[in-house]
Amino acid sequence: MPLWKTLGFRSATLSLVICVVLIGAWRAATLPDVKPPSPAAVQALSAEQIEYLKMMGKDPVAQADAPASGKTGGFPTPAQTAATAWKLLSNPFYDNGPNDKGIAIQLAHSLGRVALGFGLACLLAIPLGFVIGMSPLLRGALDPFIQVLKPISPLAWMPLALYTIKDSSVSGIFVIFICSVWPMLVNTAFGVASVKREWLNVSATLEVNPLRRALKVILPAAAPTILTGMRISMGIAWLVIVAAEMLVGGTGIGYFVWNEWNNLSLSHVIFAIGVIGVVGMLLDLMFARLQKAVTYVE
């Protein structure tokens, strides 16, 4: 068996073992450690105390009615989370109003915002990065501005976006745009500036016009670096849109997480976190495949 197949099988087996261990630790950590309160003890509690315990995720009424061996409050068990996942995935497109939509609808809203903001960032960052990479003068002049603006948290722009645009959905797209620009811009400029001088000299000797040189010489050589910037930008964009939707509300996977937290439904929150992670992984794999496809191996 080839070495890469052997390593792949071993890695998959180790990943499976780690997954089982983590689920086992999760199950052990959520075992009931106290005896459920008796009905008499529940009746002795005041209405304020019962409401407080419910807010903390411990419903004394439900605990008293449940079997002593069951898990009735606090952090959900793997089985409870799996049941929630099955329930949400069995009907992912339902729409019962503004605050009650299926997970697929929420995910589609988030992906749509990310796609639009990311696409706008590509239209600006890649051509501008080409110009900056081909001009040492522009690179030196714009570098201070890029270095100042690049470290600013995208969410720091949210108040200005909401005040200026006055639309939460468009403000979310703007935040995706502003966080996606910088990695693509920097990586594109670096990739263009790093093209081998010999290739540029050959194109100059053959009197290739600037547009053809950019498309036939510089773009293929810089493509892996440009895709690296796009991959980083997509990862940041997916991270930021979840946080932005928590702030502005409305629709989206981030709003779904925040809404379920307000409903004290931790199993829904855990499931949504898993969905966010899986979608982020798939987006990263997509750009990794694109990067591998445009990388020239000597």
DSSP 146-161: HHHHTTS-GGGGHHHH
- Stretch (H or E) spanning 101: none
Residue 276 pLDDT:
92
Q: What is the pLDDT of residue 296?
A: 66
Closest residue by Cα to residue 101 from 249, 287, 227: 249
pLDDT of residue 161: 84
Q: Contact, 252 vs 110, CB < 8 A?
A: yes
Residue 152 structure tokens: 């600013």
CA distances from 116 to 40, 109, 122, 142, 238 (A): 58, 11, 10, 26, 12
Cα distances (angstroms) measured from residue 6 to each of 3, 15, 17, 133:
5, 14, 17, 43
**Residue type for 138, please?**
L
What pLDDT score does 243 carry? 83
- The 3-state DSSP class for residue 24 equals helix
Task: Write 66-71 long-range contacts (CB < 8 A, 24+).
Answer: 66/36, 68/32, 68/35, 68/36, 69/32, 70/32, 71/30, 71/31, 71/32
pLDDT of residue 5: 55
Break the chain into its structural domains and give their ranges: 103-294
Q: Tens digit of pLDDT per residue, the chain (298 long)?
A: 454 455 567 888 888 888 889 888 888 887 765 555 566 666 666 667 666 666 665 665 555 554 443 444 567 888 888 888 898 888 888 878 777 788 888 899 899 999 999 999 999 999 999 889 888 888 888 888 888 988 888 888 888 888 888 887 888 889 899 989 999 999 999 888 887 777 766 776 766 677 777 777 778 888 888 999 999 999 999 988 888 888 777 788 888 888 888 887 888 899 999 999 999 999 999 998 888 887 765 5
The CATH class of 103-294 is mainly alpha
Burial label, 63 (beta-carbon count in 10 A; 0-12, 13-18, 19+): buried
Tell me the CB-side half-sphere exposure of residue 289, using CA atoms within 13 A: 5
Residues 226 and 230: their CA atoms lie apart, in Å, by: 6
pLDDT at 125: 92
Strand partners, 101: 95
8-state DSSP, 211: H
Contact 37, 49 (CB under 8 A): no
